[in-house]
């Protein structure tokens, strides 16, 4: 069951369980049916679907049966994305919360780990079985689509076809600024750096992040750790503003990632946390996406192109993490892109 396919009753069940765990079925059905006039059988059916699909866990038997959210990591509890932005007076975290580091572990379920391992096998088989010329062409297609989509997330207006022409023939599209072309070409160059320095991303160093950011923003902004305050559109969350604190948190992130054992978990952490820290004046999300891919490639997992991602949904899930540190929706989007890679590249 995909969370986008949850019905309103099921979303209500998850909301109740988020507010009060270890609840009996009688109490749970009473809370829902009393308000909606929904039959007990319908609620039981919805509850069983949620259990089967690992949204809800059940403990005990008979009258002692209790229900709770399946996920125990507070960062990964279910959060209704649409409902979150409807709420006008939502309570948010306006400042960086260093305690988030204490929850950045065990982020993947056994089934999700199986999906990652499947992707690694598919990627390896493609490298071994595909004719070198075909593999090179597939890699070029991947770079084009990654450069296009990652730039589009940042507001770049180049089309996919225009991006392909720019990367393949170095022909800039009319009606676009030079900065847009530079942004796309910087993505291509950054991916080349990732491939050339593949093994160096197995253990991150402070300079790795700075250098990758420099490549991604060359000709666009001055690189280096920012020393001024920044604001993020669409949210009241304010990243750290003191340069020494920013560098301290970035180094703590590097240390945490290097201690994390499972490579796709390293990549997920980087994909969200670098943007959360916002160490640079600009280019933070670009750097987070590319650095995440660098770690995946370093450990022979396929990188993500973000080709099928909805830009507004991506921005929304980032804001949710900034404001609540809830990783549920971001991880869901991240895994969707993994599934897209498995189905659409290197075959």
What would the pLDDT profile of 76-117 be if each residue is shown by its tens digit? 988 889 888 887 778 899 999 999 999 999 999 888 999 999
CA distance 164 to 161: 5
Kindly give, in sequence order, each residue whose CB lies less than 8 Å from that of residue 165, ignoring residues fewer than 6 positions away: 171, 173
Based on the domain organization, do 33 and 145 belong to the same domain?
no
Assess whether pLDDT exceeds 80 at residue 326.
yes
Looking at residue 72, its pLDDT comes to: 67
Q: Does 88 fall in a domain?
A: no
Based on the domain organization, do 191 and 332 belong to the same domain?
yes
Q: Does 281 fall in a domain?
A: yes
Looking at residue 282, its pLDDT comes to: 93
Based on the domain organization, do 309 and 172 belong to the same domain?
yes
Based on the domain organization, do 256 and 311 belong to the same domain?
yes
Assess whether pLDDT exceeds 60 at residue 1.
no
Assess whether pLDDT exceeds 90 at residue 291.
yes
Q: What is the DSSP string of 46-103?
A: HHHHHHHTTSEEEES-GGG-EEEES--SGGGS---HHHHHH-TT-----B--GGGGGG
Based on the domain organization, do 16 and 156 belong to the same domain?
no
CA distance 44 to 78: 19
Based on the domain organization, do 23 and 157 belong to the same domain?
no
CA distance 327 to 224: 27
Band of pLDDT at residue 33, cut at 50, 70 and 90: low
Assess whether pLDDT exceeds 60 at residue 256.
yes
CATH classification of the domain holding 14: 1.10.10.10
SS3 237: coil
Looking at residue 71, its pLDDT comes to: 66
Based on the domain organization, do 194 and 58 belong to the same domain?
no
- Its pTM surpasses 0.75: yes
Assess whether pLDDT exceeds 60 at residue 35.
no
Based on the domain organization, do 187 and 285 belong to the same domain?
yes
Band of pLDDT at residue 7, cut at 50, 70 and 90: confident
Based on the domain organization, do 59 and 142 belong to the same domain?
no
Domains in the chain, number: 2
Q: What is the mean pLDDT of residues 36-46?
A: 76
Q: Judge whether 54 and 70 are in contact, CB under 8 Å.
A: yes
Looking at residue 5, its pLDDT comes to: 72
Facing residues of 95 across strands?
238
Looking at residue 23, its pLDDT comes to: 82
Q: Does 188 fall in a domain?
A: yes
Q: Which of 101, 302, 284 is nearest to 209 (CA)?
A: 284
Parent domain of 9? 3-70
Q: Does 87 fall in a domain?
A: no
Distance between start and end Cα atoms, the chain: 27
Q: pLDDT, tens digit, for every residue of 142-157?
A: 999 999 999 999 999 9
Q: Does 86 fall in a domain?
A: no
Last residue of a domain, one of 34, 55, 70: 70
Looking at residue 54, its pLDDT comes to: 72
- How much is the mean pLDDT over the chain? 90
Assess whether pLDDT exceeds 70 at residue 4.
no
Distance of CA 144 to the CA centre of its chain: 20
């Amino acid at each position: 069951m995909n969370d986008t396919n949850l019905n309103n009753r099921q979303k209500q069940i998850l909301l109740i369980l988020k507010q009060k765990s270890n609840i009996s079925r009688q109490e749970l059905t009473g809370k829902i049916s009393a308000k909606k006039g929904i039959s007990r059988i319908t609620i039981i059916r919805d509850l069983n679907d949620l259990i089967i699909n690992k949204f809800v866990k059940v403990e005990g038997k008979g009258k002692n049966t209790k229900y709770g959210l399946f996920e125990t990591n507070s960062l990964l509890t279910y959060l209704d994305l649409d409902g979150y932005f409807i709420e006008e007076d939502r309570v948010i975290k306006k400042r960086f919360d260093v305690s988030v580091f204490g929850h950045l572990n065990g982020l993947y379920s056994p089934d999700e780990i199986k999906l990652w391992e499947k992707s690694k096998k598919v990627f390896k088989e493609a490298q071994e079985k595909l004719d070198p010329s075909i593999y090179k062409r597939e890699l070029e297609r991947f770079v084009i689509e990654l450069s296009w989509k990652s730039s589009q997330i940042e507001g770049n207006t180049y089309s996919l076809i225009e991006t392909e022409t720019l990367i393949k023939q170095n022909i800039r599209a009319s009606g676009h600024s030079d900065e847009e072309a530079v942004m796309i070409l910087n993505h291509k160059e950054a991916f080349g750096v990732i491939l050339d320095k593949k093994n160096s991303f197995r253990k991150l160093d402070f300079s790795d992040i700075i250098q990758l950011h420099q490549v991604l923003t060359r000709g666009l902004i001055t690189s280096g750790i920012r020393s001024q305050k920044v604001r993020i559109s669409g949210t009241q969350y304010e990243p750290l503003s003191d340069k020494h604190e920013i560098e301290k948190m970035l180094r703590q992130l590097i240390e945490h990632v290097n201690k994390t054992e499972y490579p796709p978990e390293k990549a997920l952490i980087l994909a969200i946390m670098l943007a959360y820290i916002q160490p640079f004046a600009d280019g933070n999300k670009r750097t987070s996406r590319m650095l995440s891919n660098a770690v995946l490639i370093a450990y022979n997992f396929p990188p993500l192109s973000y080709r099928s991602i909805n830009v507004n949904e991506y921005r929304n899930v980032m804001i949710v993490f900034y404001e609540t540190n809830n990783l549920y929706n971001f991880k869901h989007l991240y895994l969707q892109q993994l599934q897209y890679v498995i189905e659409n590249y290197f075959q």
